[in-house]
């Protein structure tokens, strides 16, 4: 089943006083999609945690129109808790090298598709949604969360700052470093997956 | 005037609209005379599209069914 997502649904339900079940059911596909990108195979458990916590705190939801952001905030915290509990070892990353890395220049210099006249677009075209998810899961959580919520789910940086209780400047710094790390990991992932020349292994 | 390295560091912020007016003008001035950085900018735009597009994925129907079941049990 393909579920169309994207953007932050903020449309107020027709029912002025909808039940928790109605509000949460409407958000379920979006919550599961976010969780899959934040915690991979633990997504179902993270959403279960989120539903239980949200149900207990339902009286704290001020208006049905803010249910989307409210549930996302609870979900992100559940994902962070799960990430801490599992304490996965992220891929070893050289932060200094990442800061200087340019995927655009790397593709141009390595020329992974010698007969292509649209090298950069060909590289990006290799990345389906599952590949993007796999690359995201290589990043440390503090960089993965801003990338997912801002560039994939349409939250503003200031909304994210409020959601996870950190200063806006910290969010912007994490977005900057997260983008650089994402680019380095895209290249490494492409090499490991055999995306170049002979196609995928 | 800024060089390529300084311009590239700000391209995503430029696309996000989070650079201030002065930095925006510097980036635009650089882009007006640097073809390679224009390429970097277009690539950044495409990469953002890839990210946004990847939010739509096939969700496992069995997982959604179980989560819906949880909701039914929470709020009979």
- The ipTM estimated for the assembled molecules is 0.88
Q: Shortest CB distance from B18 goes to which of A51, A153, A157?
A: A157
Of A19, A28, A14, A32, whose CA–CA distance to A61 is shortest?
A19
Best of A5, A151, A169, A171 to substitute, by most chain B Cβ atoms within 10 angstroms, is A151
Determine the pLDDT at residue A13. 45
Q: Is A25 on the interface with B (CB under 8 A)?
A: yes
Whether residue A24 is contained in a domain is answered as: yes
Does A107 share its domain with A81?
no
Local structure of residue A148 (DSSP, 8 states): I
> A54, A86, A118: which is the final residue of a domain?
A86
- Give the pLDDT confidence score for residue A7 in this predicted structure: 43
Tokens describing residue A55? 């149900």
Q: Is residue A9 part of a domain?
A: no
Indicate whether A80 and A110 sit together in one domain.
no
Query: What is the 3-state secondary structure of B15-55?
Result: HHCCCCHHHHHHHHHHHCCCHHHHHHHHHHHHHHHHHHHCC
Q: What part of A 26-45 touches B (C-beta under 8 Å)?
A: 28-29, 32-33, 36-37, 43-44
Nearest to A174 by CA among A193, A150, A191, A194: A150
Q: How many other C-beta atoms can be found within 10 angstroms of the C-beta atom of residue A121?
A: 14
Q: Does any CB of chain B come closer than 8 Å to the CB of residue A21?
A: yes
The whole-angstrom separation of Cα A97 and Cα A184 is: 9
Pairs of residues, one from chain A and one from chain B, whose beta carbons lie less than 8 Å apart:
112
- The tens digit of pLDDT for each residue in B9-56 reads 899 999 998 899 999 999 999 999 999 999 999 999 999 999 999 997
Q: Residue A58 has what DSSP assignment?
A: G
- Which residue does chain A place closest to B71, by CA atoms? A21
Please check whether residues A105 and A167 belong to one and the same domain.
Answer: yes
- Answer for the pair A180, B47: CB distance below 8 angstroms, yes or no: no
- Say whether A132 and B58 touch across the interface (CB within 8 A): no
Test A19 with B75 for CB contact under 8 angstroms: yes
Q: Give the model's pLDDT for residue A85.
A: 66
Of the three residues A31, A60, A86, the one that is the final residue of a domain is A86
Could you tell me if A183 and A112 lie in one domain? yes
pLDDT tens-digit profile, chain A (201 residues): 333 444 444 444 445 567 899 999 999 999 999 999 999 999 999 999 999 999 999 999 988 889 999 999 999 999 999 877 665 555 667 778 888 889 999 999 998 888 888 999 999 999 999 999 999 999 999 999 999 999 999 999 999 999 999 999 999 999 999 999 999 999 999 999 988 865 665
In a domain, A148, yes or no: yes
Q: Domain holding A146: CATH number?
A: 1.10.10.10
d(CA A29, CA A6): 11
**Domain shared by A128 and A180, yes or no:** yes
- Give the residue from chain A lying closest to B52, CA to CA: A152
Question: Which residues, including other chains, have CB under 8 Å from residue A101's CB and lie 6 or more apart?
Answer: A180, A183, A184, A187
User: Per the structure, how many domains does chain A have?
Assistant: 2
Residue A161 inside a domain? The answer is yes
Interface test with A, best of B3, B53, B59, B72 (most A CBs within 10 A): B59
pTM for this one? 0.86
Assess whether A31 and A103 both reside in one domain.
no
Out of B8, B50, B59, closest to residue A124 by CB:
B50
Q: Which domain holds residue A110?
A: 95-192
Last residue of a domain, one of A86, A108, A124: A86
The pLDDT of residue A117: 85
Nearest to A6 among B42, B56, B67 (CB): B56
The CATH number linked to A74 is: 1.10.1740
Rounded Cα distance, A77 and A58, in Å? 16
A112 inside domain = yes
Nearest CA in chain B to A152: B52
């Amino acid at each position: 089943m393909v579920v169309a997502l994207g953007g932050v649904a903020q449309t107020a339900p027709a029912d002025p006083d909808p039940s928790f079940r109605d509000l949460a059911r409407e958000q379920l596909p979006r919550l599961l999609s976010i969780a899959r990108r934040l915690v991979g195979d633990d997504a179902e458990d993270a959403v279960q945690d989120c539903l239980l916590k949200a149900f207990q705190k339902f009286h704290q939801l001020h208006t049905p129109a803010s249910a989307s952001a409210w549930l996302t905030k609870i979900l992100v915290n559940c994902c962070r808790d799960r990430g801490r509990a599992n304490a996965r070892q992220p891929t070893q990353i050289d932060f200094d090298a990442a800061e200087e890395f340019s995927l655009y220049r790397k593709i141009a210099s390595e020329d992974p598709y010698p007969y292509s006249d649209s090298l950069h677009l060909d590289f990006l075209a290799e990345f389906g949604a599952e590949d993007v998810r796999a690359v995201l899961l290589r990043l440390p959580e503090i960089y993965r969360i801003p990338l997912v919520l801002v560039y994939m789910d349409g939250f503003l940086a200031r909304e994210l700052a409020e959601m996870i209780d950190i200063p806006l400047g910290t969010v912007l710094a994490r977005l900057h470093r997260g983008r650089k790390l994402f680019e380095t990991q895209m290249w490494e992932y492409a090499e490991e997956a055999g995306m170049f020349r002979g196609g995928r292994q | 005037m800024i060089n390529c390295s300084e311009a590239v560091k700000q391209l995503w912020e430029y696309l996000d609209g989070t650079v201030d007016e002065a930095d925006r003008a510097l980036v635009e001035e650089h882009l007006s005379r640097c073809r390679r950085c224009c390429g970097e900018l277009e690539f950044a735009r495409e990469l953002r599209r890839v990210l946004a597009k990847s939010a739509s994925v096939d969700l496992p129907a069995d997982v959604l069914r179980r989560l819906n079941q949880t909701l039914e049990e929470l709020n009979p």
